Structure 1
Amino acid sequence: MSHNLETRSLMGEIRRFDKCCFFDFGHPLLNRIAESFVKAAGIGAIQAVSREAYFTAIEGSGFESSGGVPPEISVDGKKRHRAPDLRGETNRKSLEALVRNTGKESLQWGLAAGVYSGLTYGLSEARGVHDWKNTAVAGAITGVALALTTADISHEQIVQCAITGAAISTAANLLTGIF
């Protein structure tokens, strides 16, 4: 009796994931925005849950009290949680805070990916060329959109996020094909 076991590599799965089409709204722009949103929202959810799992593990292990926690995780000796109701406990309030925080992070990641993907595609179609200028504008607008989702919005923060978004997306576009 022979078994037909299919072996899959991680790179093969990633390539297949990029080629599959989740949605068909009848227009490539809408398809691209929706697919980017869903993929990035999933990544954002995984990131939020894994970060909270890490904080919970650190809190429960006693590693935090031994002074081994990096300074960016603790502020004035207090652990910094994105959701203040999360305490590493298994109660309803903690679970609700985790779900709320995960939803917010998913929405932010999805928003960033959808806006960026839609803008780069739209600008490429409108201008008839795909170059660094499209990605710079899309990155700047995406940076502004992300800055507007934060709690403390200031003019300086919006400008900084726009510049950072434009710089990162332009660098990524210019470095495409080098690696």
Structure 2
Amino acid sequence: MQTTTRSLLDDLRSFDKGGFFDLGHPLLNRIAESFVKAAGIGAIQAVSRGAYFTAIEGAGLDSGTGGLPAEISGASKKHRFRDLKGETNRKSLEAMVKNTGKESMQWGLAAGVYSGLTYGLKEARGSHDWKNSAVAGAITGVALALTSEDSSHEQIVECAITGAAISTAANLLAGIF
């Protein structure tokens, strides 16, 4: 009897083929795979952004007196890890891990909700078109708005409209490119 062994590299290569999870239903598999992929991207994005703003600040470019344009300087204050310059390295590391986890969850939530909704709407309606994308994008936008620290009614509506617009445009442009 011959046994085959798969390496981690083989598992990672099969990740794009959709066979990484088998939760018993295609909808669950799709949500889980989208969540994991997007959460990984979110983590990379959060760490990269934090490293960038830490480097900018360390180089003295973010002094507020003209090192960076105001919109970038304002963004660095908004997206900076709150306790990155804490009293200890442990506090800084905890802040980075907490922020990275939060961003990963937000990205994963967005991808999982959107992917699950588009799949579910396709199955329910029997077709995949811009309408499915618009509804899925709007609901995903609302879900993301609700995860922010200061979600207001206006922000929730704005995120719903933005999510619907972006996903509809992506669906319509997918046929062109």
TM-score (norm 2): 0.85
Task: Indicate the RMSD between aligned Cα atoms, in angstroms.
Answer: 2.1
Q: What pairs with 1:50-129 in structure 2 (closer than 5 Å)?
A: 50-65=48-63, 67-75=66-74, 79-87=77-85, 91-129=89-127
Amino acid at match of 2:138: A
Structure 2 unaligned residues grouped into runs of 5+: 1-11
Relative to its length, the structure with more helix (as a share) is 2
What is the aligned partner in structure 2 of residue 11 from structure 1?
none
Q: Identity of aligned pairs, percent?
A: 82
Structure 1 residue aligned with 2:47: 49
User: How far apart, in 1, do the equivalents of 2:50 and 2:175 lie?
Assistant: 35
Structure 1 residues 15 and 69, CA, compared in 2 at 3 Å: closer, same or farther? farther
Q: Distance in 1 between matches of 2:71 and 2:15?
A: 34
**Pairing 1:1-179 to 2, within 5 Å after superposition:** 17-65=15-63, 67-75=66-74, 79-87=77-85, 91-179=89-177
Structure 1 residue runs without a partner (length 5+): 1-13
Partner-residue secondary structure (3-state), 1:56: helix
Aligned residue pairs: how many?
A: 164
| Structure 2 letter corresponding to 1:61 | A
Which digits, 9 at most, give the CA deviation of each residue in 1:36-74, with x for residues without a partner? 000000000000000000011111112223623132232
1:50-102 CA-to-partner distances (Å, cap 9, x unmatched) read 00000111111122236231322324xx8444431012887000000000000
- Counterparts of 1:39 and 1:169, CA distance in 2: 18
